Chain A
Amino acid sequence: MATPKPRVKVPKKASAGEIITIKTLISHDMESGQRKGKDGNVIPRQIINKFTCEFNGMKVFECDLDPAVAANPYFEFNAKVPESGTFKFTWVDDDGSIYTDEQKIAVN
């Protein structure tokens, strides 16, 4: 599998206290551990098991994922923006890899 690639969509600007919508998508097979390969053996589970979104170091939204989340995990959620700052997104893989992305937002 190619290195998972995250994509996030965050508005560039918001007014103070505004609730914005964030969308995230990451390329990942989300191998469930329920499938058999061509050799007849079960393909070991390898999924993204945790996703977090923080704003200026404060927790905004988290998700614990099980193998029943579809390949290329997609999330849409909201965030209240109190001030200008940076959203940090983190995806944790079963193999220990961590994928991150950051997006700045300006409050006018």
Chain B
Amino acid sequence: MNKRTLAALVLLCASPLFTAARAEPVAETLEIDGEAMITEAPAPKDPPGHPFDVVKSGWLYREPDTRAMEADSFENPGMLNVERGEEVWNTVEGEAGKSCASCHGDAAKTMKGVGASYPKWNAKAGKPFDIELQINACRTAQMKAEAYKFDARDQVDLTAYIKHQSLGIPVKIDLSAGDMMSWWQTGKDRYYLRTGQLNFACASCHEKNSGNYLRADHLSQGNSNGFPTYRLKQSNLVSLHNRFRGCVRDTRAEPPKAFSDELMALEVYVAWRGEGLSVETPAVRQ
């Protein structure tokens, strides 16, 4: 153990994990290439009981350099993945000899707004689908290609490309479809469930301590509007379920499987918590 981690250990033992340091998110507006994004919105009122009056984008909690990197689509390295995603969109795969474009044409037209409305009820599967599950359903049923494995590079880049077509459009999911409300409720229960040796729920950090510092991290509300998001730590795009699993792992609990019912319910609930915020994919975070 080096001196620094020892010092950190001593410091942590002597102080509460969440420091008293608090900083309001910045009062700035995000324009990506001059296009205004909605980074603050009144919390959704239906169903009632949203914990915040105003939902805020994680962008507001980041340092100036990180914010600037997202505001210029050229400087945003996540756009390299979006460009790769466009290539995947146009690549023929599978026995049916089709690409995404074979059925859906120009994504700029056909996918506009789609990413803002997911996760979405899928009647055939009897559960909500996110973009990744919808892509896999298209691949197996239409393209006769293999479903992507979780976090395959093509899956992340294609998802980012599709969601990027909704850049700026506010998140709004349809909770009236099918059984969405019961998934919402399950997701809500999961959000407040404490797990792991740290005994943290999602709400421990992103609701009760949103705005506080957890050591050097300025805790955001944990909204999903910027995923897949470019994280400086990984220097790559990170999918939402990857981050869900990372958060749960960090509570020292066994993370649920990606796209499991548990995490799909959580995705429905978290998407609702951030309704009204612009899709920022690919956002840039720490």
Instruction: List chain A positions with a Cβ less than 8 A from chain B.
Output: 2, 5, 7, 9, 23, 25-27, 29, 70-72, 74
Given contacts A71-B235, A71-B236, A72-B235, contact A5 B74 (CB under 8 A): no
B80–A74 touching, CB < 8 Å? no
Residue of A nearest to B87 (CB): A5
List the B side residues contacting A72 at CB < 8 Å: 77, 80, 235
Closest to B157 in A: A2
| B79 neighbours in A (Cβ, 8 Å) | 7
How far is it, in angstroms, between the C-alpha of A74 and the C-alpha of B284 when the chains are bound?
A: 15
Contact B84 A25 (CB under 8 A): no
Give how many B residues have a beta carbon under 8 Å from the other chain's beta carbons.
11
Does B235 contact A25, Cβ atoms closer than 8 Å?
A: no
Within 8 Å CB of A29, what residues of B? Answer: 235
| A2 touching B153 in the complex, CB below 8 Å, given contacts A72-B77, A74-B75 | yes
In whole angstroms, what is the CA distance A70 to B232 when docked? 9
Q: Does B217 contact A (CB under 8 A)?
A: no
Q: Considering the chains assembled together, what is the distance between the CA atoms of A77 and B40 in angstroms? A: 35
With A7-B80, A27-B84 given, can you name 16 additional A-B contacts, CB distance below 8 Å? A2-B153, A5-B80, A5-B84, A7-B74, A23-B74, A25-B77, A26-B80, A27-B80, A27-B81, A70-B235, A71-B77, A71-B235, A71-B236, A72-B80, A72-B235, A74-B77
Tell me, in angstroms, the Cα distance from A71 to B231 when the chains sit together.
11
Given the complex, which residues of B lie within 8 Å of A2, measured CB to CB?
A: 84, 153
Cα A5 to Cα B77 with chains together (Å): 11
In whole angstroms, what is the CA distance A5 to B80 when docked?
A: 8
- Nearest-CB distance from B203 to chain A (Å)? 33
Bound form: Cα–Cα A25–B235 in Å? 13
Question: Is B262 part of the binding interface, using a Cβ–Cβ cutoff of 8 Å?
Answer: no
Q: How far apart are B104's CB and chain A's nearest CB, in angstroms?
A: 23
Query: B residues within 8 A CB of A7?
Result: 74, 79-80, 83
Residue of A nearest to B235 (CB): A71
Complex: chain B residue closest to A24, CB-CB: B74
A108 to chain B, nearest CB (A): 24
Chain B residue nearest to A70 (CB atoms) is B235
For the complex, what is the distance from the CA of A5 to the CA of B85, rounded to whole Å? 12
- Chain B residues closer than 8 Å to A70, beta-carbon distance: 235
Cα distance A71–B83 in the bound complex, in angstroms: 17
